[in-house]
A and B are shown apart, each in its own frame.
Chain A
Amino acid sequence: MNAILIIAGKEVRDGLRNRWIVGTTLLLAVLAFALAMLGTAPTGVLGVKPLAVTVVSLASLSIFLIPLIALLLSYDSIVGEVEHGTLLLLLTYPVRRGEILLGKVLGHCTILALATLIGYGGAGLAVGLGQGRDPQGWAALALLLVSTVMLGAAFICLATLISLLVRERASAAGLAVAVWLLFVVVFDVAVLGLLVWLKSGLDPALFRWLLICNPADLYRLVNLTGMENIRVFSGMAGLSESLRFSPWLLLALLGGWCAVPLAIALFVFRRREL
């Protein structure tokens, strides 16, 4: 346990030193504030609650950005250390391989969580404090922050697995881009294509399961359908009952997207010879 914290602590300090944390936080904060400004501009006309609108825009932005940041952060987690020659020495220390892996994942998740909480949280606070009582808006913001960190964690675990499956850093980078494209772009287009092709309509149960197969879609569902007031602004009000999931279930499924790649990564790393 102690070793996990030592390694995680080192990853976080590295993140501070190479300005990953500062850069990501600034990026997220600037985008969040920009969306908050743009998003709240038409609210007077429409009469909607601005915090909810901000949450919807931030969620749509995060689906593209957070997986990318997470993959960039962790794609060379292990293969980078193998190539650099630092892993060999680390493995001769009284540290379990699982502890090395968990320490790195924990460290990277902490970096992303810090950036998200400060960047998005700051923008959310600024927007939310400027208006009256809005408990549902605050709840939506809290759900956004939690689910964003979990989305990031899921892609950090996927990236860590990638970093174990390849022999070279360059292949890891390529695979990471492919994973991003698959989950963030291709998957939805493919599902859409399937819907158009099957003119009779997809079995709702099957559609439900298809969306669970993609952490980005889970995240979308959490944030766009999780709260009653949000559904109205996100254009999801007419969503069929079959797609109504409890936000807790969706978060749990997102947790599954962290646990499964991590478990595979642990299995692969333990068996690996260097």
Chain B
Amino acid sequence: MNAIVAEALGKRYHEQTALADVSFSLPQGTLLALLGHNGAGKTTLMKLMLGLIHPTSGSVRVLGQMPSAAALAFRRQLGFLPENVAFHDELNGRDTLRYFARLKGERPAVCDDLLERVGLSFAAGRRVKTYSKGMRQRLGLAQALLGKPRILLLDEPTTGLDPVLRREVFAILGELTRNGATVVLSSHILTELDARTELVAIMRRGRLAAWGTLPALCGNAGMPIRIRLAAPGGPASLAPHLNGFPVSAVDGRTVELTCSQQDKMAVLRHVAALGALVEDVEMRLPGLDDVYLHYGQGDDPE
């Protein structure tokens, strides 16, 4: 079953097109990473999915409903973490979360567990004013998790978090998707998403530039694999043995050659047979960074 379906979705503000012709369907229980520059339309798309703004063309359905026209109960199934989340500074963390819990019709008793889960119990009694960026982010995540939402929309959830916490956040999100929740998150920091997202959507100038799993996107983009060889004898000693591959010297001892996904094993066998000429092999597979650069920055069709 699809949790979110967008059909030719578009949003214009006066003369400015924020989002145009976005169509996709996101199955329930998946984690989608929404990538794009600032102003690419990520936040607009999230606001449309939340029902905060009305589409000017096309439609979006979340859990089968139109978010901007849905009944109040619909929003009980949503969790949202806005970009640069802000709270009332004078309240402490626990009271802030309890306030949100009451608004969502949850028992305030669940708040302590949630604070524990995001690693914030140590500062629950401190005023939010004294919180660091990462702590606010964690409090924001805790409020998004209130009421066991079926749809989680997280705008830049991992900015300001250290690597340990980032991993914990993804562990929480993984657990949620296994239980059937659908997660959409946007991010600038691509490396952290590499191994963890199932689906990737890349947005450029309000349009969906790419959509798919990471390996599929890499394959479609025909992105080469780069192999670096450390040659004790210098690049010149290797050159005659690497006929047919695009080769470039990196420095006095290193050579880089590129090949396609299909040729990878053949190249590796060939290199292994070169014996003492090659001291070390380092392979760089295309990652989300490369995919993003490929789809997110290409020439504009306009």
Interface residues, chain A, with chain B CB atoms under 8 Å away? 3, 6-7, 10, 14, 17-18, 84-86, 88-96, 273-274
| A274 nearest in chain B by CB position | B52
Please determine whether B103 and A93 come into contact, CB atoms closer than 8 angstroms. Answer: yes
Please determine whether B87 and A94 come into contact, CB atoms closer than 8 angstroms. Answer: no
Interface residues, chain B, with chain A CB atoms under 8 Å away? 47, 50, 52-54, 72-76, 78, 80, 82, 84-88, 90-91, 99-100, 102-105, 140, 143
Contacts of B78 in A (CB 8 A): 92
Contacts of A95 in B (CB 8 A): 72, 103
Please determine whether A86 and B86 come into contact, CB atoms closer than 8 angstroms. Answer: yes
Please determine whether A89 and B82 come into contact, CB atoms closer than 8 angstroms. Answer: yes
In the assembly, what is the distance between CA of A84 and CA of B89, in Å? Answer: 10
Please determine whether B80 and A273 come into contact, CB atoms closer than 8 angstroms. Answer: no
Determine which of B52, B85, B86 lies in contact with A91 in the assembled complex, contact meaning CB atoms within 8 Å: B52
Contacts of A96 in B (CB 8 A): 72
CB distance from B249 to the nearest CB of A (A): 51
In the assembly, what is the distance between CA of A89 and CA of B140, in Å? Answer: 10
Contacts of B72 in A (CB 8 A): 94-96
Please determine whether A93 and B54 come into contact, CB atoms closer than 8 angstroms. Answer: no
In the assembly, what is the distance between CA of A273 and CA of B87, in Å? Answer: 21
Please determine whether B104 and A14 come into contact, CB atoms closer than 8 angstroms. Answer: no
In the assembly, what is the distance between CA of A3 and CA of B99, in Å? Answer: 10
Contacts of B76 in A (CB 8 A): 94
Please determine whether A92 and B75 come into contact, CB atoms closer than 8 angstroms. Answer: yes
In the assembly, what is the distance between CA of A274 and CA of B54, in Å? Answer: 10
Contacts of A94 in B (CB 8 A): 72-76, 103-105
What are 10 A-B contacts defined by CB distance under 8 Å?
A17-B90, A85-B82, A85-B86, A89-B140, A89-B143, A93-B75, A94-B73, A94-B74, A94-B76, A274-B47
In the assembly, what is the distance between CA of A92 and CA of B72, in Å? Answer: 10
Q: A92-B52, A93-B103, A273-B54 are known contacts. Are A18 and B90 too (CB-CB below 8 A)?
A: yes
CB distance from A104 to the nearest CB of B (A): 13
In the assembly, what is the distance between CA of A85 and CA of B87, in Å? Answer: 8
Choose among B50, B82, B86 the residue with the greatest number of A CB atoms under 10 Å from its CB: B86
Contacts of B104 in A (CB 8 A): 93-94
Please determine whether B85 and A6 come into contact, CB atoms closer than 8 angstroms. Answer: no
Contacts of B105 in A (CB 8 A): 94
Chain A interface helix/strand/loop/mixed: helix
In the assembly, what is the distance between CA of A96 and CA of B86, in Å? Answer: 20
Q: A14-B90, A94-B73, A94-B105 are known contacts. Are A88 and B52 too (CB-CB below 8 A)?
A: yes
Please determine whether B52 and A273 come into contact, CB atoms closer than 8 angstroms. Answer: yes
Determine which of B53, B86, B99 lies in contact with A84 in the assembled complex, contact meaning CB atoms within 8 Å: B86
In the assembly, what is the distance between CA of A14 and CA of B73, in Å? Answer: 28
Contacts of A7 in B (CB 8 A): 103
Please determine whether A89 and B53 come into contact, CB atoms closer than 8 angstroms. Answer: no
Please determine whether B103 and A92 come into contact, CB atoms closer than 8 angstroms. Answer: no
Q: A96-B72, A273-B54 are known contacts. Are A3 and B103 too (CB-CB below 8 A)?
A: yes
Contacts of B50 in A (CB 8 A): 92
CB distance from B274 to the nearest CB of A (A): 59
In the assembly, what is the distance between CA of A10 and CA of B73, in Å? Answer: 22
Please determine whether B87 and A93 come into contact, CB atoms closer than 8 angstroms. Answer: no
CB distance from A77 to the nearest CB of B (A): 13
| B140 nearest in chain A by CB position | A89
In the assembly, what is the distance between CA of A7 and CA of B50, in Å? Answer: 21
Please determine whether A274 and B86 come into contact, CB atoms closer than 8 angstroms. Answer: no
In the assembly, what is the distance between CA of A95 and CA of B51, in Å? Answer: 13
CB distance from A96 to the nearest CB of B (A): 7
| A83 nearest in chain B by CB position | B86
In the assembly, what is the distance between CA of A94 and CA of B99, in Å? Answer: 13
In the assembly, what is the distance between CA of A86 and CA of B85, in Å? Answer: 7
Contacts of A273 in B (CB 8 A): 52-54
Please determine whether A86 and B87 come into contact, CB atoms closer than 8 angstroms. Answer: yes
In the assembly, what is the distance between CA of A91 and CA of B53, in Å? Answer: 11
CB distance from A34 to the nearest CB of B (A): 31
Contacts of A17 in B (CB 8 A): 90-91
In the assembly, what is the distance between CA of A272 and CA of B195, in Å? Answer: 40
| A95 nearest in chain B by CB position | B103
Contacts of A89 in B (CB 8 A): 80, 82, 85-86, 140, 143
CB distance from A8 to the nearest CB of B (A): 12
Please determine whether B82 and A88 come into contact, CB atoms closer than 8 angstroms. Answer: yes
Choose among B54, B78, B88, B140 the residue with the greatest number of A CB atoms under 10 Å from its CB: B88
CB distance from A195 to the nearest CB of B (A): 48
Contacts of A90 in B (CB 8 A): 103
Please determine whether B103 and A274 come into contact, CB atoms closer than 8 angstroms. Answer: no
Contacts of B143 in A (CB 8 A): 89
| B84 nearest in chain A by CB position | A85
In the assembly, what is the distance between CA of A84 and CA of B88, in Å? Answer: 9
CB distance from B240 to the nearest CB of A (A): 63
Contacts of B54 in A (CB 8 A): 273
